[in-house]
Amino acid sequence: MKFVHAADIHLDSPLAGLTAYPDAPVELLRTATRQAFTRLVDEAIDAAVSFMVIAGDLYDGSWKDYNTGHFFCRQMGRLHQAGIPVYLLFGNHDAESEMTKKLLLPPNVHSFGSRRPDSFQLHEPLVALHGQSFREAATTDNLAAGYPPPVPGALNIGVLHTALEGNAAHATYAPCSVPELVARGYDYWALGHVHEHAIMREDPWVVFPGNLQGRHVRECGPRGAVLVTADADRVQRVERLPVDVLRWQVLAVDASGTRTLAEVVRAVGRAFEGLLDAAGQLPLAVRVRLTGHSPAHGELFGRAPHLRAEVLGQAAAIGEDRLWVEKVRVETAPPQDGQALRTRSDAVAALAALLTAAPDDADLLADLAEELRPLVDRAPQELLQAVPELAAIRSGDLADLVREVAPGLVAHLAGNGRGP
C-alpha cells in the first residue's frame, strides 16, 4: 500500500522576489502553487495510491473569491474518479476562523473537525487516521495530547499541524515533543507547518514533507510531498516526491580567481551552466552571491547596476527562459596582499580625518544636507517620528549626527576584511 502525505500547499499564494523584473515569468509566478498541486494529483493517480493526507495550510488564508475553491474541487474530483480518498486537516493559515468562504467538497474528501480529534478508517488493509484541525489561527494548545489510542490491528496515522517544540524559526503552534508523539503508539505522524522537509524519526515515523512549492529565495531546493510505502502493520519507506514547477536556488560564485568585472561575469555564466545541467528541465530562480577576496571588489561595488545587467544577460543567453535572477549580492572583499592593505588603511585614515573635521566644516555639512534632504522628504511621517536622526537631517542640523556615526563608520571600514 502507498499513500501521499503533503502539507503547506498555500494554494494561490504568489511567488515573491522576481516580480520586479520586466521579463519575469508572470504567469508561472502567479500559478505555481496550482501547477505543483496538479502535479501532485497526477503523481498520486499514476502511483495508484490508497489515499492522500494533507496536514494543514492547504490554503494561504481566506479566498479572495471562489476560484481557489473551484480549483481544489476540480483536483479532488480527479482523485474521486480514480477512487482515491483524501484526509484533510486545517492549520493556522486555513483555520476555521480564518476561512470566510466555503464550498462542499466531493464525497472522497474527509475533513478533520476542529472541536475534538476525529478518526477515519479505511479497510483492506485496515488504516486508522486521527487528527484535529485548527479552530483559531493562534492555536497554542497541545492538540496531540487529546488524540485517541491506536486502533488495534490497524496502521495508525496521526495527522497534525505543529511547530513541535523549541523550533525557533516557527511560532509555537500546537506544541508537542517527538517523544510525546512516539508514546501515542501510532505508526506514522503526518505533520505539517514546518516548510523544510524533515524526517524527525523513523519507526514510528515523524515526518514533515515540507511545503509543496518554494515561494521565495528562503525556500530553496526541491519541494513537494512524500510518498509512503507500508504494509498492513508497518511503514516500510518514505520517499520524497518533488512536484515543484519552479525552484529557488542560492548560487555562490567565488570571485577570488578573477581580476575584473568581465571575468566575474564569465564565472557567473559558467556557474549558471553547471546549475542548469544539474536541475533537469525545471525553471530556476537564482540569487547570485559573489564571494571571496578579489581585485575586482571595488569595480563590483562601484558598478552594481552594470554588473546586474551583465548577470541578467548571462542568464538570458544561457537560460533559454528557464533561468531567472532574483538578486545579485556582492559579498566580495578586497584582495589580501600588502599593497592593497596599505592603500586601504591610507583611505580609512583620510576618511577618519575628514569625518573628524566635518562637524565644524559648514560647507561640507551644507553639501551633505542637500544630498540627504530628498531622501528624507520621501520618508513617511511615522518613520521620521521613530528615527530622530532623520528629523535632524530635515532640519539641516547634521553636526551631531556626523559626530555620532563617524567613529562607528571608521571602525567598520578599518576592521572589515582585514587579513591576518
Binding site for Mn ion (CB under 5 A): 57, 91-92, 193
Q: What angle do CA 219, 225, 229 make, to 5 degrees?
A: 150
Cell numbers 481544489 correspond to what residue?
A: 72
Q: For residue 70, count other CB atoms closer than 10 A to its CB.
A: 11
**How far is the C-alpha of 132 from the C-alpha of 143, rounded, in Å?**
7
As measured in angstroms, the least distance from the Cβ of 172 to Mn ion is: 12
Query: Closest separation between CB of residue 92 and Mn ion, Å?
Result: 5
Q: Which residues touch 348 (CB under 8 Å, ≥6 apart)?
A: 410, 413, 414
Q: At closest approach, how far in Å is the CB of 318 from Mn ion? A: 37
C-alpha dihedral sign at 169, 171, 172, 176 = negative
**Between 94 and 310, whose beta carbon lies closer to Mn ion?**
94
CB of 332 vs Mn ion, minimal distance in Å: 37
Classify strands 205-208 and 235-242 as parallel, antiparallel or unpaired. unpaired
Please say which residue, 92 or 249, places its beta carbon nearer to Mn ion: 92
Please tell me the distance from the alpha carbon of residue 306 to that of residue 354, in angstroms, as a whole number. Answer: 30
Q: Which three cell numbers stand for residue 230?
A: 507500508
Shortest spacing between CB 141 and Mn ion, in angstroms: 15
| Coil vs helix vs strand at 192 | strand
How many angstroms separate the Cα of 379 from the Cα of each of 209, 384, 386? 43, 7, 11
Tell me whether residue 61 or residue 91 sits nearer to Mn ion (CB atom). 91
Task: Report the residue number, 156 or 162, with the smaller CB distance to Mn ion.
Answer: 162
Residue 373: phi and psi, rounded to 5, are -55, -45
Helix/strand/coil for 254:
strand
Of the pair 191, 268, the CB lying nearest Mn ion is at: 191
- Nearer Cβ to Mn ion, position 69 or 91? 91
Q: In angstroms, give the least distance from the CB of 164 to Mn ion.
A: 12
Looking at beta carbons only, is 16 or 138 nearer to Mn ion? 138
Shortest distance in whole angstroms from residue 33 CB to Mn ion: 14
Distance in Å, CB of 150 to Mn ion, minimum: 26
Q: Which is nearer to Mn ion, 163 or 300 (CB)?
A: 163
Q: Which three cell numbers stand for residue 320?
A: 533559454
Q: In this chain, which residue has its C-beta nearest to Mn ion?
A: 193
Query: Strands, DSSP E only, in 98-197?
Result: 109-111, 118-122, 127-131, 155-161, 188-192
